[in-house]
Structure 1
Amino acid sequence: MLLIRADQLVSLEQLMREIWGEDLPRRATAGLHVYISQLRKFLKLPGSTGNPVETRASGYVLHKGDDQIDAQVFPELVDVGRALLREKRNDEAASCFGQALALWRGPILGQGGNGTEANGPIIDGFSTWLNEIRLECQEMLIECQLQLGRHREAVGMLYALTAENPMCEAFYRQLMLALYRSERQADALKVYQSVRKTLNDELGLEPGRPLQDLQRAILSGDMHLMSPPLAISCR
């Protein structure tokens, strides 16, 4: 919680609700003070007189100082990459997106976030927000690769992304295009049938218009598909 809101005041009420939910134990305030004391000991540097965790009247602030927090650096890199992509500086944008994704080394905050089976509303909201940015970053990285003619390199990553995100039609669209440009028309059409079956079985839906249009274009051998630029989807 304190890292997520580094350099900002986090109130006692927010911390207690995040840890225990609405059913607070009888000595919740005392328990919170114990946790903060343990955290201060953990973060104290040898020979240092101060501590990054500051007590305020209504809560605590964790000062990051000169340190960097990956969860803050990541969206900043994505913002830079998005701006480069809009300027059609695809190679630089791809490098920026790659740097951003390299900061991920597993699930956000580890399994269970705060070490319990359920997180509080702030941690849950933060995790959802960061995961959505990650999906957008992955999508934009692939768009860069497709526009740079790196469709064969993108195929393996896209198969993994569609497996991890079976309801994300954007990744299927990109995979179909990458396969078609790699002279794998039959595999591209199999991908369409696969996502169509998944959407029908799970939601009773047909693929969206972009996927349907792409399937028809592949069936007709539309040569416009063979070269970028492709329409970019930036949320």
Structure 2
Amino acid sequence: MRYEILGQLRVIDGSNSKTIRAQKVEILLAALVARSDQVVSTDQLIREIWGDDPPRSATAGLYVYISQIRKMLGHCGEETSPVLTRPPGYMLLTLGSDEIDLLDFKRLMREGRAHLRSGAYEAAMSSFEDALALCRGPFLTDGVPGPILKGLRTWLNEAQLECMESLIEARMALGYHRELVSDLYLLSTEHPLREAFHRQLMMALHRSECRGDALLVYQRARRTLREELGVEPGTALQDVQRAILMDEGR
């Protein structure tokens, strides 16, 4: 059995793949997958589904949704459902052969960081590419009300950006400067307050003998940071600008 929540939630058993159309059932299963092998209390699950203002029928509704999930997972080839009742709530029990894409993503990120620190840039690039490939689209659907999945969505957004930054760092260490310029222009535009993408774009342009363009990127980033946050660029961004200016003066 494989559970995938980095995109539309789906459960895969061999060649069979199941998705969930009912939003509340999808949220419930996603919360159990996110906390796999841990007990999630009934109160927590109700809050995940209905937020801070659940209906009076919330407990009864939760029982119905648990039953639907158990039935669905049973149809995926399990003789007994992996969703167990464990006071004060429920847990998704994963067995030795079960897989969760979220755990794969975290493992690949750890491996990529270790490779990057050791200078194994090809291996780092492969790990980060594999991690990003697991992210199939937006996390679940709009309107996720509860803290477990809200927190996971916030973490995942940040982790994907970190993964992209690290992937670019590995690619730059391997000499792919020119190939990265267009992607970095896009990333720095989509995430104008994230200084790392501006810094990487400046370095890629500088190493591609486009020093003037690199300095214009700095000015654009500085203007954005001052207008949006009232701050100057950080030390890393300033250091890159200074290095480019010193190189031009030689």
One fold, TM greater than 0.5?
yes
Describe the SS at the equivalent of 2:99: coil
Alpha-carbon distance between aligned partners in 2 of 1:93 and 1:64, rounded to the nearest angstrom: 29
Q: CA deviation at 1:192?
A: 0.9
Alpha-carbon distance between aligned partners in 2 of 1:170 and 1:46, rounded to the nearest angstrom: 44
Q: CA deviation at 1:54?
A: 1.5
Q: TM-score, normalised by structure 2?
A: 0.81
Describe the SS at the equivalent of 2:36: coil
Partner of 1:79: 110
Distance change (3 Å), C-alpha of 1:208 and 1:44: same
Within 5 Å, which residues of 2 pair with 1:60-209?
Answer: 60-65=90-95, 66-109=97-140, 111-112=141-142, 117-209=143-235
Letter in structure 2 aligned against 1:26 = R
Alpha-carbon distance between aligned partners in 2 of 1:30 and 1:107, rounded to the nearest angstrom: 30
Distance change (3 Å), C-alpha of 1:210 and 1:5: same
Alpha-carbon distance between aligned partners in 1 of 2:83 and 2:127, rounded to the nearest angstrom: 32
Alignment size in residue pairs = 219
Deviations 1:40-64 (A, max 9, x none): 2222226643112112232111123
Give the superposed CA RMSD: 1.9
Deviations 1:144-183 (A, max 9, x none): 1111111112222212221221111011001100011111
Q: CA deviation at 1:191?
A: 0.9
Q: 5+ unaligned residues in a row in structure 2: which ranges?
A: 1-30
Deviations 1:114-161 (A, max 9, x none): xxx242111111122222222221111111111111111222221222
Answering whether residue 39 of structure 2 is matched by residue 13 of structure 1, we say no
Partner of 2:246: 220
Describe the SS at the equivalent of 1:198: helix
Distance change (3 Å), C-alpha of 1:223 and 1:63: farther
Partner of 1:233: none
* Higher strand content, 1 or 2: 2
Q: TM-score, normalised by structure 1?
A: 0.86
- Identity across aligned pairs (percent)? 55
Distance change (3 Å), C-alpha of 1:46 and 1:178: closer
Alpha-carbon distance between aligned partners in 2 of 1:120 and 1:98, rounded to the nearest angstrom: 30
Structure scoring higher RCO (CA < 8 A, sep ≥ 6) equals 2
Choose 43-52 or 168-177, whichever is displaced more: 43-52
Which runs of structure 1 show a deviation greater than 6 angstroms over 4 or more consecutive aligned residues? none
Deviations 1:48-81 (A, max 9, x none): 4311211223211112332321111101100011
